[in-house]
Structure 1
């Protein structure tokens, strides 16, 4: 566990120790940063209670220093629908309805036991603001994506159905969206499969973020300084940018898939900055046609690769059984396919030269923190916005504009691994890495933001 940036922390005395209640959204990209934040706050002298759903329940033994309360989310009643083509907003909105009464009752019981400094809930659990107001409890919000995404969500016209029915032949498909020029019309198709449902979710989330008593962000000021200025203007509550959380306190993986740690020995045998690490996260699913394009895009390069294929990631298949023997023979020892791996260690390994990613915010931050340029294949919700930042704003990645297409994949790999463009991207991402490290040091922006957050909570 990296204690580098904990040693200079403000630690409360036992007399001033107070309890914070945290409520994570039960999906890996949300729960991991919430538990990282919980660890950070615990080192600052706060007692931590986690209220969690039964769905994706955390392993309590992993966090013996926390208290846990489980609530019945009734998610099992709709879990069988997860195999259908429902958009993510369906499940998040369902949880906001089904958790309301159990959460309220749990919170009342906890408040009867001892004083609580504040509640920190995931921003997408927007229903918690009304309950906190009723119980006169301060609610703060953890937003697990970027500042830029929050701004983009406020600007994207979810209500305009035509924007979400574009085809490649439509003029607006490749055109910038007037309300938010960073993204293109085709990005809108990925941001929301169900525009009405996702628009409603986003509107509720943003409204209750503005009604909260403070916003906590897993980012750093130097990475999104213009965006932070905009957020401070639009949201009249304090913002605390104390990321990247995992550099303060790595969180144990919440994945149910066992990590393949043997792959680190294989990486040890590869030349420096030679390996293409490919992983599309814990949720995304792709068709077999897309899967084959990824496979042959990797096979058609000369670079070694490490490819994470999560069980069930390919629609209609258990794992990689649709790959031909010819493919496996042609790749030989140059490629490795695993079900899951210790991503932060892989990105930090000297052999890793590129990260082909879905651009979830956690993965993007981890890549920046290790100075690894990216190939970007966003799948849905905030990922297209983050990918545009990586490619067009920070210029540390290449966005695959045509999706999973083997010729474009091979060209992107060659460009990032062998061309001058790739060298420049690597230099830029290494400069960002250095800024991250400075922000965490004593006097740095994230370190100071953490101190401000501790002082703010202590004053409540």
Structure 2
């Protein structure tokens, strides 16, 4: 426990947070924690030993490990993500309940718990203890709306996805096509549907509120439709990464250490001349796609900053270090225009004036961060909610172009050149800069967070 929180025995209102142990889920939960603490609430973060958090990165918060026992196969970097999520829920339900019960016996008054929306078991456990519990959705409102609609989609024959229906628009979920629905290639369809059904049931049956890291300027219609489907209030409090209190750059709280040497490298490049490439903290590509990406970038004629995360390329033995480049590429003249890092300080990179576009997997954090900086996107979704986000980026908000389903070097080079120097690229770049204005206005007010805190205190 942080020293300042243990210095008094006076009764305080405390909020208990429980993030899912993946980077894209941890970051928004800790950003929310900082915002709640800034408004006078005591905050305790329960966390797993799997992908354990570093309390030193957030000394103002109290951290408690639940000490779960996770099967080895579920903790493997090669684990099927759906099976992993099911195993995490099963393994963490009892230790989460025990840790929450211990806090209830403590000196502070636990006002409520906020758990990641994928923790269906923890939502039920908190509710069973009589603790008001809110779910934090770390995906878009459009994705959450799709989650709530999944049972209907399956009953209507859209799930499992059929080849002949791929380009059909999904009724009531426009602009989504069938190919844009949540999917995890290689995972069992029944397991995925079962997981999503449990999540949706927990939202409706256990949560007394839903917190979404989004905002009206980009998702007002989706938020209205979500609220019509829920009996509890939904709070759009994003973009959390822009609203949180200012912190020193070194205190990033990331599971990966960023290579800050890329920032002075960017300083040496003209305005909007560099393509930033990152497929996030979980998504992987096979070796063939990685090599096509590399050769395409090299031959595009565009300077690039590429994040190649250890373990991000399937079919290599380099689980603990970035995979080797394709043979001959390090001698390729075009390759010398680029810089490859294992991880980057992404928010600072996207805010840098040298960045002209972002080749992204369209994870929600990356999508939000790009929108907030007015940076257009090249969309290459890999799995889960990323297909939903990519469709909105390209066809709803008009701030991105598709890389294409086939990752082939000539197509990659053409897509990069189009984005950075073509008419279509100019169009989406202009739209991205226009969308930044309402985003900035949203960041200028704290009303959404204040409303959330007021609701928490009323529980």
Q: What is the aligned counterpart of 1:98 among 91, 101, 107? A: 91
Q: Per the alignment, in what secondary structure is the counterpart of residue 65 of structure 2? A: strand
Asked if the contact 1:50/1:66 (under 8 Å) is kept, the reply is yes
Asked if the contact 2:137/2:212 (under 8 Å) is kept, the reply is yes
Shift of 1:72: 2.1
Q: For 1:21-40, what aligned pairs fall within 5 Å after superposition?
A: 21-40=16-35
1:352 corresponds to: 355
Q: For 1:32-431, what aligned pairs fall within 5 Å after superposition?
A: 32-75=27-70, 77-79=72-74, 81-83=76-78, 86=80, 88-113=81-106, 114-156=108-150, 157-158=153-154, 164=160, 166=162, 170-178=163-171, 180-188=173-181, 190-191=183-184, 193-211=187-205, 212-249=207-244, 252-317=251-316, 318=318, 319-431=322-434
Q: Which one is further off, 141-150 or 67-76? A: 67-76
Q: 1:96 to 1:230 in 2, by over 3 A?
A: same
Q: Which one is further off, 423-432 or 38-47? A: 423-432
1:8 corresponds to: none
Q: Which one is further off, 424-433 or 374-383? A: 424-433
Q: For 1:377 and 1:160, how far apart are their aligned partners in 2?
A: 28
Asked if the contact 1:287/1:314 (under 8 Å) is kept, the reply is yes
Shift of 1:159: 6.5
Q: Which one is further off, 321-330 or 156-165? A: 156-165
Q: Which one is further off, 307-316 or 350-359? A: 307-316
> Which structure 2 segments of 5+ residues have no match?
1-8
Q: For 2:361 and 2:183, how far apart are their aligned partners in 1?
A: 12
> Which structure 1 segments of 5+ residues have no match?
1-13
CA RMSD of aligned residues (A): 2.2
Q: For 2:349 and 2:41, how far apart are their aligned partners in 1?
A: 32
Q: For 2:60 and 2:138, how far apart are their aligned partners in 1?
A: 23
Shift of 1:160: 7.8
In the TM superposition, what whole-angstrom CA distance separates every residue of 1:402-459 from its partner, at most 9, and x where no partner exists? 23222322222222211222222112111221111101224xxxx2111111111122
Q: 1:379 to 1:275 in 2, by over 3 A?
A: same
Q: For 2:397 and 2:412, how far apart are their aligned partners in 1?
A: 21
Q: 1:354 to 1:234 in 2, by over 3 A?
A: same
In the TM superposition, what whole-angstrom CA distance separates every residue of 1:263-300 from its partner, at most 9, and x where no partner exists? 11111111110101000001111111100111122112
- TM-score, length basis structure 1: 0.90
Shift of 1:17: 4.6
1:4 corresponds to: none
Q: Per the alignment, in what secondary structure is the counterpart of residue 223 of structure 1? A: helix
Asked if the contact 2:133/2:209 (under 8 Å) is kept, the reply is yes
- TM-score, length basis structure 2: 0.90
Q: For 1:189 and 1:18, how far apart are their aligned partners in 2?
A: 38
Q: For 1:116 and 1:451, how far apart are their aligned partners in 2?
A: 19
Q: 1:73 to 1:276 in 2, by over 3 A?
A: same
Asked if the contact 1:21/1:48 (under 8 Å) is kept, the reply is yes
Asked if the contact 2:15/2:113 (under 8 Å) is kept, the reply is yes
